[in-house]
Structure 1
Amino acid sequence: MFNKTSDQTAAPGGVPAARPSNTKSVFASDLKITGEISSIGDIEMMGDIDGNITARSLSVGAEGRMNGTITAESVDVRGTVDGQISASTFTLRAAAHVAADVTYKTLVIESGAQIEGRFARHKG
């Protein structure tokens, strides 16, 4: 969907430069995305996403809505998520509405969070 005509991260000689892993992408509340999102850093999502997200960490803000598959080391939800979630650490805040099949290592559920689905702990 989006294409770059030239690689602006290339070092001299055309070799891609290393990307920092401590980057953070923020999706504002007026943003609607359909498709695949991938990041080696962190994502803060306050918009509306239909698709799949892979990132180091994902934070779904109170106004955020996600429908799809999430794969991340850490997932923190204040908004609405429908789909599948795979995370080492999964945190549901009090305002969260989640209908998902979830695999996790560490799970935190605040009082008031609304959840529906299957939860399975990672083995190992």
Structure 2
Amino acid sequence: MFSKTADASAAPTPPVPRPSGPGANAGRSVLGADLRITGEISTTGSVEVLGEIDGNLTAHGLIIGAEGRLKGSVNATTVEVKGKLDGSVTCESLTLRASAEVKADVTTAGIVIESGAVMDGRFLKPKG
């Protein structure tokens, strides 16, 4: 009934098409501790920064790890900072963990700041 050998006369199966469009294949990208990026990063998924980024980042979600550093502007739905962030942030929700060091102007609807986090900048409410 079942066989472990492939039937040589069987037609190969066509490749499965990849989804397209915003968020269709949104995954999580991890930028390692030994990685330094200068430039612009854009994704429909989430990004975890363990290394350094000098530039702008647009993503659905952003996590800056305890050793991570980002210098530039961020536009994301959710942002969680454990490391260092220097620039500007536009997001729906921002979480600053106890180890966070942030120098930024932040436009957000919701914010959580743990005891020990360092914040230097302004908080603005989104228009609309």
TM-score normalised to the size of structure 2? 0.82
Which structure dedicates a bigger proportion of its chain to strand?
A: 1
From 92, 102, 105, give the equivalent of 2:96.
92
In the TM superposition, what is the alpha-carbon distance from 1:21 to its structure 2 partner?
3.8
Pick from 70, 73, 92: which aligns with 1:69?
Answer: 73
Match of 1:104 in 2: 108
Give the aligned partner of residue 7 of structure 2. none
Q: How many residues align?
A: 111
What are structure 2's unaligned runs of at least 5 residues?
1-16
Q: CA RMSD in A?
A: 1.7
Q: Partners in 2 of 1:78 and 1:105 — Cα distance? A: 20
Where structure 1 has 5 or more consecutive residues not aligned to the other structure, the ranges are: 1-10
> Which 4+ stretches in 1 moved above 4 angstroms?
none
C-alpha distance in structure 2 between counterparts of 1:43 and 1:33, whole Å: 13
Q: Aligned pair 1:49/2:56, yes or no?
A: no
| Structure 1 length-normalised TM | 0.84
Q: How does 1:20-31 map to 2 (within 5 A)?
A: 20-31=24-35
